[in-house]
């Protein structure tokens, strides 16, 4: 079933204007021209383009004319390859005849081939022959360097640099007499250097920033300027003398320290004093050093090993080094023992000062026995020591471990006075201290190779720990009061 076309029929005559038809004579004349035979210039190959310029652009081959060209019209394009003296292919003849028939010269062909060779109109205009281009351009000449000009520029740059240096490092500008007499370099540079260099401007010395003052007063620069007074670990005798009245006040009057068994510490030679660690504010190392300096017959010096976190606090690490503390590591302890010194160690470490008040005087684990290996290698005796009274001077009620990264401490202490009273809450309570030294433990029966025996090291460490715990228990039983002993 056919569908009816419902589209309205358009009237062609109404939509398009009528154009007059040409006369019959004109139509016959056009037909005669179209049917007329083509001239003999038509190409033999009817499949390709009939325009010789277009074919020259497509092929990109250099075409040699049928007649030899004069020397002044030769181009830079190489001639086509010849296979013999009389060899001329038919395609070459057809192309030559097409070029001659189109009226193209050698210059036109070269211009058409210039696009195929990558030479655009911006480099060589199409109407310019290659010969004229190369003859018109002068040959490039190497640049002449004048030695005098280069030397003058160098002198001028050096003079400017000297002016900047003087302006930076000197606050007062030099006079002409000083510049002529005391600066032989400016004399040698001459007048050109004087004209190019600007006179230095006097600059007022700026006040040193706070960081520089702290570095010169407390940092490494202060130690470097007085290196002959410091020892290898940072002990400052002059600073210790200034702090000595405060330490003696704490030892004699504030804590009223009592020392027992001080004769067990050898009068000479190396020795390791092993003690318990306690108190939220650990002052036991400082009091142990003061006890040997005051109570011992030979007034021996003790260097105690402080925890690593102390040296990350502002001013605390430098202060501890200057009064005799040493950063805790086996290398530092070996160097001290090689100098026949007394080394104080606290094997409990941070766990000793983290103990809460209800865990007071209960020794924690003594690490992995590093101090025992040190004694075995260095052939040093061990003197156990018990300190009573430090737990009550700074009792730790609670510790916050969530703020360790914020404050840079292994824990945040909560004591009866801190942080409620601010910095004044860090002041320790005036409790009665008692320091008791036990009998020395000699390890001469073991050789240095015994330091690799883990079982022996653990057994000796437990022996020292039990000895200190026994002295603590006996001291607590004998004590009548926390405040009066």
| pLDDT range class, residue 42, cuts 50, 70, 90 | very low
- Of 133, 161, 192, the residue at which a domain comes to its end is 133
- pLDDT-derived band at 311 (thresholds 50, 70, 90) equals confident
Q: Which two tokens stand for residue 212?
A: 């520089």
For 215-236, what is the mean pLDDT? Answer: 70
3-state secondary structure at position 410: coil
Q: How far apart are CA 113 and CA 382, in angstroms?
A: 101
Q: Looking at the structure, do residues 360 and 252 belong to the same domain, yes or no?
A: yes
Domain that includes residue 56, residue range: 50-64+90-133
pLDDT at 174 over 70: no
Residue 369 within a domain: yes
> 114 falls in which pLDDT band (50, 70, 90)?
very low
State the average pLDDT over residues 437-455.
92
- Tell me, yes or no, whether 339 lies in a domain: yes
Mean pLDDT of 215-229: 62
Question: What residues pair up with 383 in beta bridges, in sequence order?
Answer: 273
The Cα 297–Cα 187 span in angstroms is: 72
The bridge status of strand 342-345 relative to strand 302-306 is: parallel
pLDDT digits (tens, 9 = 90+) for 183-206: 444 454 454 444 444 555 555 555
Residue 139 lies in a domain: no
Q: Is the pLDDT of residue 83 over 50?
A: no
Mean pLDDT of 134-140: 51
Same domain flag for 123 and 256: no
Mean pLDDT, rounded, for 326-347 = 94
Q: Which range has the worst mean pLDDT, 68-77, 243-252, 367-376, 464-473?
A: 68-77
Quickly count: other Cβ atoms within 10 Å of residue 159's Cβ.
Answer: 21
Query: What is the rounded distance in angstroms from the CA atom of residue 485 to the CA atom of residue 476?
Result: 10
Is residue 54 pLDDT above 80, yes or no?
no
Residue 268, pLDDT > 90, answer: yes
Share of the chain above pLDDT 70, in %: 56
Residue 440 has pLDDT above 90, yes or no: yes
Residue 413 falls inside a structural domain: yes
178 pLDDT band, cuts 50/70/90, is very low
pLDDT over 60 at 175, yes or no: no
Greater model confidence, 20 or 75: 20
pLDDT at 416 > cutoff 70:
yes
Q: Which of 74, 104, 133 is the last residue of a domain?
A: 133
d(CA 104, CA 55): 13
Per residue in 146-155, pLDDT (tens digit) is: 555 788 888 8
Statement: residue 156 has pLDDT above 80? yes
Predicted confidence at residue 370, as pLDDT, reads: 92
Whether residue 128 is found in the same domain as residue 236 = no
Residue 266 pLDDT level (bands cut at 50, 70, 90): very high
The pLDDT of residue 185 is 46
Res 212: pLDDT: 65
Instruction: Answer yes or no: do 420 and 287 share one domain.
Output: yes
pLDDT at 103 (0 to 100): 54
Please state, in angstroms and as integers, the Cα–Cα distance from residue 96 to each residue in 52, 72, 85, 105, 322, following that order. Answer: 9, 20, 18, 11, 104
Is the pLDDT reported for residue 240 higher than 80?
yes
Biggest CA-to-CA distance, the chain:
150
pLDDT, position 422: 87
Q: What pairing do the DSSP bridges indicate for beta strands 412-414 and 398-400?
A: antiparallel
Mean pLDDT of 159-180: 62
Percent of the chain, pLDDT > 90?
Answer: 38
8 A C-beta contact, residue 443 and residue 375: yes
- Res 155: pLDDT: 84
pTM of the model: 0.56
Domain assignment present for 431: yes
Q: Pick the residue with more confidence: 126 or 298?
A: 298
pLDDT for 154: 86
75 part of a folded domain: no
Whether 105 and 235 map to the same domain: the answer is no
Q: Does 439 map to a domain?
A: yes
Per-residue pLDDT for 278 more than 70? Answer: yes
| Dist CA 383 CA 342 (whole Å) | 10
| DSSP SS3 for 24 | helix
Averaged pLDDT, 279-286: 88
Sign of the CA dihedral with 149 first, then 154, 158, and 160 last: positive
Q: What confidence score (pLDDT) does residue 224 get? A: 61
Segment 64-88 shows an average pLDDT of 48
Domain boundary pick from 98, 133, 168: 133
Q: What residues form DSSP beta bridges with 327?
A: 306
Rounded Cα–Cα distance for residues 304 and 325 (Å)? 5
Mean pLDDT within 246-253? 95
Residue 316 lies in a domain: yes
Q: How many other CB atoms sit within 10 Å of the CB of residue 381?
A: 19
Residue with tokens 């192309």: 95
Average pLDDT score over residue span 23-32: 61
Q: Is residue 377 scored above 90 in pLDDT? A: yes
Answer yes or no: is pLDDT of 86 > 50.
no
- Per-residue model confidence (pLDDT) at position 166: 76
Domain match, 126 and 238 both = no
pLDDT of residue 306: 93
CATH number for the domain harbouring residue 457: 3.40.1130
Overall domain count for the chain: 2
- Mean pLDDT computed over every residue of the chain: 74
Q: For residue 431, is pLDDT > 90? A: yes
């Amino acid at each position: 079933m056919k569908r009816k076309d419902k589209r309205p029929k358009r009237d062609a005559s109404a939509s398009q204007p009528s154009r007059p038809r040409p006369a019959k004579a004109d139509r016959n004349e056009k037909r005669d021209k179209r049917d007329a035979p083509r001239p003999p210039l038509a190409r033999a190959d009817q499949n390709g383009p009939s325009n010789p310029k277009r074919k020259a652009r497509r092929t990109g081959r250099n075409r040699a004319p049928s007649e030899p060209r004069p020397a002044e019209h030769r181009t830079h394009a190489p001639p086509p390859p010849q296979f013999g003296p009389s060899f001329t292919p038919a395609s070459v003849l057809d192309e030559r005849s097409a070029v001659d028939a189109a009226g193209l010269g050698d210059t036109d062909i070269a211009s058409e081939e210039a696009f195929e060779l990558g030479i655009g109109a911006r480099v060589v205009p199409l109407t310019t022959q290659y010969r004229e281009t190369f003859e018109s351009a002068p040959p490039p000449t190497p640049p002449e360097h004048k030695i005098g000009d280069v030397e003058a520029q160098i002198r001028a740059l050096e003079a400017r640099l000297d002016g900047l240096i003087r302006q930076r490092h000197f606050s007062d500008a030099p006079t002409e007499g000083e510049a002529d007499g005391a600066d032989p370099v400016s004399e040698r540079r001459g007048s050109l250097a004087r004209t190019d260099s600007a006179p230095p401007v006097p600059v007022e010395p700026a006040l040193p920033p706070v960081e520089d003052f702290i570095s010169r007063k407390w940092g490494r620069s202060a130690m470097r300027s007085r290196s002959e007074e410091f020892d290898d670990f940072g002990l400052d005798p002059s600073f210790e003398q200034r702090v000595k009245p405060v330490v003696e006040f704490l030892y004699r009057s504030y804590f009223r320290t009592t020392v027992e068994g001080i004769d067990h510490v050898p009068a000479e030679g190396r020795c390791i004093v092993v003690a318990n660690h306690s108190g939220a504010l650990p002052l036991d190392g400082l009091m142990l050093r003061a006890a040997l300096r005051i109570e011992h017959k030979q007034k021996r010096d003790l260097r105690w090993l402080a925890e690593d976190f102390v040296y990350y606090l502002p001013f605390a690490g430098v202060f501890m080094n200057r009064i005799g503390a040493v950063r805790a590591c086996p290398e530092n302890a070996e160097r001290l023992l090689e100098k026949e010194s007394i080394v104080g160690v606290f094997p409990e470490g941070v766990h000793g000062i983290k103990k809460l008040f209800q865990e007071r005087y209960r020794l924690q684990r003594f690490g992995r026995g590093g101090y025992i290996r040190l004694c075995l290698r260095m052939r040093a005796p061990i003197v156990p020591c018990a300190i009573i009274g430090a737990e009550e001077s700074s009792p730790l009620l609670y510790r916050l471990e969530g703020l360790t990264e914020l404050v840079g401490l292994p824990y945040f202490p909560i004591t009866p006075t801190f942080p409620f009273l601010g910095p004044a809450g860090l002041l320790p309570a005036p409790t009665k201290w008692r320091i008791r030294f036990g009998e020395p433990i000699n390890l001469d029966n073991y050789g240095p190779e015994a330091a690799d025996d883990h079982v022996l090291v653990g057994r000796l460490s437990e022996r020292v720990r039990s000895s200190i715990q026994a002295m603590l228990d006996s001291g607590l039983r004998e004590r009548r009061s926390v405040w009066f002993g």
